[in-house]
Amino acid sequence: MSTKHSSQIIAVGGGKGGVGKSVIATNLAVAMALTGQKVVLVDGDFGASNLHALVGISNPRYGFRDFFVHDGIEDDPSPLLQETGLVNLKFLSTSGSLPGSADINQKNQNRVMNVLRNLKADAVCIDLGPGTGFHTVDFFNLADRQVVVSTPEMTSITNTFNYIKSVLFRRISQEFKANAEIQHALDFSKNPEVSEDCFEIDQLRAKIRETDPDSLEAINDIIRTFSPGLVINRVRGKRDIMVGDTLCKLVKKYLDVDAQYLGYVVDSEEVRGSIDDMVPFLVKDPASKPSENIRQVLSNLTHTDLHMVKKNGSMFVSLEIKLKSGWDR
């Protein structure tokens, strides 16, 4: 779970590779930078670095090795930050091609987390690798705001549900490290072949109620405070758009988690062209449909409305702050 730090940490994750998570994370970071915030975009896909290409960096000067061979980097990580060419946006690569890069130990995971906590920025946007490995899930849980990216395909939806479940169970597990009964219940629920296909939170609650009922209130607090955001990528029609609402309902029904549907991004040539050109689509064509979509995601995530016009090679940006419910009465 998140701890106090000077910047707001936003993690972008997903249970399946190839859903466009890195593209969403990059353009979301760009959008936040255009609002005037100082933003650091972090490549958190250990062992499979490619995020740098999306912000026009061909060969990152720093990477995985620099985190673990230089003393004091947690106290001042600024030398690792690289310019992106966009005002207010810097890039940090945590990955590399060294053997074992993807399998960092607990000590090195903690070092990276300290680096992220100590970054001098308004916002830190972390693009995580796919899957539910412990270090990936732990980085996701480190964040103040979590965003899960899925596509409308059934396999991606299933993986997204399982990702959210794994993150929730990991939160509970970390909170009750010394409680053997709860650890056993979590292990039981994560192995459906030997546990009656336990995938609902109420099944987990029932098992804990039998063995350690005094812990139920704290577990329910963890569930109540977990509210990940959801973005559906590569949308092609109204049916795909509705997948987000459906997935949020499934997460509520089976996990009792209130997920927020932040929005969607359409499948388009503008996105593919921006990847090929190594220019975020929000910068390349702020009037495009994907750019409109990412601004809506930003609005729902941060309660800010970003308006952009590109004219004669210059970008004109205006910002509106939306009042939260109850403030505008």
Q: What is the pLDDT of residues 134-157, one digit of tens each?
A: 889 999 999 999 999 999 999 999
Q: How far apart are CA 279 and CA 54, in angstroms?
A: 6
Q: How far apart are CA 56 and CA 54, in angstroms?
A: 6
> 10-24, 189-203, 237-251, 258-272: which has the minimum mean pLDDT?
189-203
Query: b vs e for 253-282, b when ≥16 Cβ sit within 10 Å of the residue's Cβ?
Result: ebbbbebbbbbbbbbbebbeebbeeebbbb
Beta-carbon-side half-sphere exposure of residue 115 (alpha carbons within 13 Å): 28
pTM of the model: 0.89
Backbone angles phi, psi at 130, to 5 degrees: -75, 165
Q: For residues 112 and 282, which has the higher predicted lDDT (pLDDT)? A: 282
Sheet containing 260-266: which strands, arranged edge to edge? 82-83, 89-93, 39-44, 123-128, 8-13, 145-150, 229-235, 260-266
pLDDT class of 328 with cuts at 50, 70, 90: very low
The pLDDT of residue 313: 66
Assess whether pLDDT exceeds 80 at residue 323: no
CATH code at 8-157+236-245+260-321: 3.40.50.300
% of residues, the chain, pLDDT over 90: 58
Average pLDDT over residues 221-241: 97
192 Cβ contact list (under 8 Å, min separation 6): 198, 199
The pLDDT of residue 310: 72
Domain positions in the chain are 8-157+236-245+260-321
> 14-23, 67-76, 221-230, 274-283: which has the minimum mean pLDDT?
67-76
Provide the pairing of β-strand 82-83 with 229-235.
unpaired
The pLDDT of residue 106: 85
Assess whether pLDDT exceeds 60 at residue 68: yes
222 closest CA partner among 190, 256, 247: 256
165 closest CA partner among 194, 195, 189: 189
142 closest CA partner among 120, 118, 160: 118
Q: For residues 60 and 39, which has the higher predicted lDDT (pLDDT)? A: 39
Asked if residues 139 and 113 have their Cβ atoms less than 8 Å apart, the reply is yes
